[in-house]
Structure 1
Amino acid sequence: MSYADTSDTYGSEVLHVEPHGIDPIPQSERHGRVSSLFTLWFSANLEFATLTTGVLGVGVFGLSFWQAAVAIVIGTVVGALAIGFLTTFGYRWGLPQLIQSRAAFGYFGNFLPGILNFLCGIGWYTVNTVLGVYALQWLLPIGFLPNLIIMIILQAIISIYGHNMIHWVERVAVLILLVIFILVSVYAFPHIHFNIAENPHASAFSGTSGSMILSIAISLSYMMGWMTYSSDYSRYFPRDTKSTKAFAAAFWGNVIPAVWLELLGTGLSTFTSVSKPTDLVSGILPHPLAIVTMLAIILGTITANVINIYSGSISLLSIDVGIVRAVAPKRWVAALLVGILGGILSYVGGQSGYYQNYSNFLFVLAYWISPWAAVVIGDYLLVRRHRDEIDDFYDKNRPLRVGFWAFLIGFACSIPFFNQVMYTGYFAKHYPQIGDISYYVSFVVAFVLYALFANRQTAQVRP
């Protein structure tokens, strides 16, 4: 079966626009070391959005420093475990993450996750770009829109080149970002109020248990934002790549920087109240270091957003309908489209209410990813673990499969447990002490339902 035109040799070239889209990567194109996974994820998480995630536990949910710290560690570790596991799927089939979920959802059933992930890619791009523009404005006060255009151009160039360029940029950026955020941490440490008490007057305080659960969910949500991208950056690795090494590289590449910067954000929020996220660091640093830190924020925005643009474009290509093929016939065109749409949203969303908009976005993001992950993980463990053929991922003869229904039912069952400003479900409203447990409800329901139909699904995919 032919999947795409792969006549253009890509190899390990960096200054070569990636010719592959959603087609499987042939063995002749396989290359790379798992160490690049570590630097990719480490660099992508050394960004200001990670730091502002840590602000929410104390600043929005009213926890003490140590309560927020525990929530950060739990949420990050749980999410990174899933990322590490999903990463090992990439080089097995040579396929992007959203194409792999076709096996469980069906060819057309997978359009729904594809659309949602495309929108989430744009959403993350928007969140990060707003932060980068804030920093660029601090350095170059020429107005929000001109600085936004600069950020869009910088990010688009890297994303258009694709996989190899992204890995290269992350490897180069990681050392620069590492040094700068170490300096910021050293300057911030003496100011942190480690013994700050709970704040019942915080805008989203839901009692100790409720706020803890909400804060765990926030850190988990941040990790969930990467889950649907996991295989996109390991699919070029050789087929015989050691799973333990790939898992460890992805796991620690996410856990170390995410826990570190979220704890830094938590610490900063114990002694300062800000209207703009960049004020968190500009107020405590000497001016020369503040300048360098703003440059780091801009660089961190780029390292995170090239991943959002790239994987968002892959998700768009997975929606195999005429209008998408017409608008985005190639991966690089789809990447450019993600950048443009994200830029428009950045202009609208960057004018006010960053923290509230950000926390709402994180919750909405994870509401659909949790049941999606349950289905994909269940499909691998129960159906596809010992199967290597890839035709099933491109088979249009089975448009809807049981994973699609397990996903929808799991999501529907979680709605009464939603707990956010835009909508509070029945259980969350009447029992605020449970916080928001919708992720766990949707995951369990979707996984159990899929498991019940696993034998039937196995029979369907047998040649």
Structure 2
Amino acid sequence: MTTEPAATAPLVQFETRHIMPIPEDERNGSVRSLFSIWVGINMLPLTVVTGAIATGSFGLSIWWSIVAILTGNVIGAFGSALHASQGPQLGVPQMLQARAQFGFYGGSLLAFIALLMFLGFFASILVVAKDSLLAVFPELNPRVVIIVFAVVGIAIAAYGYDLVRKAMAVLSVIIAVVVIIAMVMLWFEPSVTGANPDAGFTVAGFFGMLAIGVVWQLAYAPYVSDYSRYLPKDTGVRPAFWATYLGLVLSSVFVMILGVLLGSVDPSNPLGAMASVLGPIGTVGLLIFALSAAMINAAELYSGVMCALTGINSTFSRVVVTSRTRVLTTLVCGAIATAAALAGESDFVTMFQNFVTILLYVLIPWSAINLMDYFVIRKGHYAIEELFQRDGGRYGRWNVIGLSTYAIGLVVQIPFMVTPMYTGPLAEPLGFIDVAWIVGFVVSGAVYLVLTRTLGTRGSVDHGETAVVGDR
């Protein structure tokens, strides 16, 4: 008597669920893998360049730069980790869940804003990865390098979640070793620690870098649940929160400090300083940074595609979102972001600083509304199946309270804004310290709470009714 050999599961699984809820029997994520994802996602040359802004653009000393970076990241990651804790309970992508606060069609507006953010980061990472490689091989064609790196990221994102998480788990370890070696060597290099003796402390510089740390972390909020949704539902809130929080803070602060040290040597080209100061070790580090960035960048595109599919699902009633739809959307979004990278590579630093500043203002109201709705008003109880109904189900097509609150959250920030393009009338009396994001967060959360308590919550779910995760 012979028996058929058991089928062997593929080493990497092609994704078939896209924006649909992840059934319990397909949730193959773990707290450890979630931690690896958020450690790996910050092991990028873009993180180095961001850290260099402290000693370069803001003129802070090394120690004040570290304090500002640490404070900003610790604050910002708290919000993102709270969003991540929603994933195991709901099982859907982060921005699709916005339909519960903004309505079936209103949620697509927020998903579109998040899509622009993801494509912007994908393009930014391509540019900085290109700079890393060209610091080692200056004879290469920069446009060709961007295109090749884009193809790598697009291919990984098209395959889906499982390949993204496994690639980042391996890469995070390799890059962490490189960063540790580089930082130890730089700390004992007099040309680094004594490069800018006039640097010190400025209030505007300190809070400016603190705000960048906050927005760096909050930029992850629109897609943290894209990955935590693969955790089993009984994982609970705390493990998902801490895996995300610690992964984000440890890696971001770690790599940004490397940027601080390099920025003190050459503010205009911190990646070039890595090669000139560290010699062969720096050269190897740049090469690893460049190649790994091309792969890690897939996470930005993957979550951007989740947002795009949310919009497609809302806008085109006849389009059925399938794996083919996801792959085609990945190709289109990847091509758009690559074109943006090719168009903006020459003036990257200025464009990137403007990008992250505006990003903070538009993300803050959404984050406050989402957290208030999830943790205070509905206490994690949602009817997931009704998020996919074209009439919005109990959540409606347009949620006036959510959309109005979001608009108010944007408007109240305007007087306090500090950007190269516009400075609010209340910025100067405050010493040009950017507190707009604080005002926006507090006002958005408070207004949403008051309006829902006064006018009633659309689509409230009884606490006895748990979130529905179906196999659609």
TM-score (norm. length: structure 1): 0.90
Which residues of structure 1 form unaligned runs of 5+? 1-10, 201-206
Equivalent positions of 1:210-229 (< 5 A) are 210-229=204-223
User: Tell me, what secondary structure is at the counterpart of 2:407?
Assistant: helix
Distance in 1 between residues matched to 2:408 and 2:97, nearest whole Å = 21
Partner residue in 2 for 1:204: none
Query: Shift in Å at residue 388 of structure 1?
Result: 4.5
Give secondary structure in 1 for the equivalent of 2:278.
Answer: coil
What percent identity do the matched residue pairs reach? 27
Alignment deviations for residues 131-187 of structure 1 (CA, whole Å, 9 cap, x no partner):
111122334423111111210111111111111111110111111111111111122
2:244 to 234, 244, 250: 250
Structure 2 counterpart SS, 1:436: coil
Counterpart for residue 373 of structure 1: 367
Provide the C-alpha distance between the structure 1 equivalents of 2:338 and 2:320, rounded to a whole number of angstroms. 22
Partner of 1:88: 85
Q: What is the CA–CA distance in structure 1 between the aligned matches of 2:319 and 2:456, rounded to whole Å? A: 30
Matched, 1:131 2:128: yes
Preserved CA contact (<8 Å) 2:309 2:321: no
Q: Which moved more, 1:380-389 or 1:210-219?
A: 380-389
Greater mean alpha carbon deviation, residues 118-127 or residues 356-365: 356-365
Within 1, Cα distance between the matches of 2:80 and 2:153? Answer: 24
Match for 1:172 among 146, 170, 173? 170
Q: Quote the residue 1:359 is aligned against.
A: 353
Take 1:92 and 1:417, find their aligned partners in 2: how far apart are those partners?
37
Matches within 5 A, 1:65-104: 65-104=62-101
- Code of the aligned partner of 2:413: S
Could you tell me how far apart the structure 2 residues matched to 1:129 and 1:158 are?
15
SS at 1:284's partner residue? helix
**CA 194–411 in structure 1, closer or farther in 2 if over 3 Å, else same:** farther
1:344-369: CA deviations, max 9, x gaps? 111111123x3222211111111111
Q: Secondary structure at the match of 1:21?
A: coil
Change (3 A) 1:15 1:304: closer
Q: Which residue of 2 aligns with 1:337?
A: 332
How far apart, CA to CA, are the structure 1 residues paired with 2:119 and 2:318?
A: 16
Please state if 1:231 is matched with 2:213: no
User: Which of 157, 160, 173 lines up with 1:159 in the alignment?
Assistant: 157
Give the residue type in structure 2 aligned to 1:436: D
CA distance in 1, matches of 2:78, 2:380: 21
CA shift, 1:16, in A, is 3.5
User: What CA distance in whole angstroms lies between the structure 2 residues aligned with 1:390 and 1:13?
Assistant: 30
RMSD between superposed Cα atoms in Å? 2.3
How many residue pairs are counted as aligned between the two chains? Answer: 443
The answer to whether the 8 Å contact 1:43/1:303 transfers is: no
Deviation per residue, 1:287-343 (Å, 9 max, x gap):
3x2332122211341344111000000011111213995999722222222211111
Aligned to 2:425: 426
Residue 279 (structure 2) pairs with residue 286 (structure 1): yes
Going from structure 1 to structure 2, the CA distance change for 1:356 and 1:301 (only over 3 Å counts) comes to same
The one-letter amino acid of 1:238's match is P
Which structure 2 segments of 5+ residues have no match?
1-7, 463-472
Q: Classify the secondary structure of the residue corresponding to 2:426.
A: helix
Q: Which residue does 1:4 correspond to in 2? A: none
CA distance in 2, matches of 1:271, 1:324: 56
Q: Distance in 1 between matches of 2:272 and 2:458?
A: 58
Shift of 1:413: 0.9
The 3 A distance-change label for structure 1 pair 195 and 432 is farther
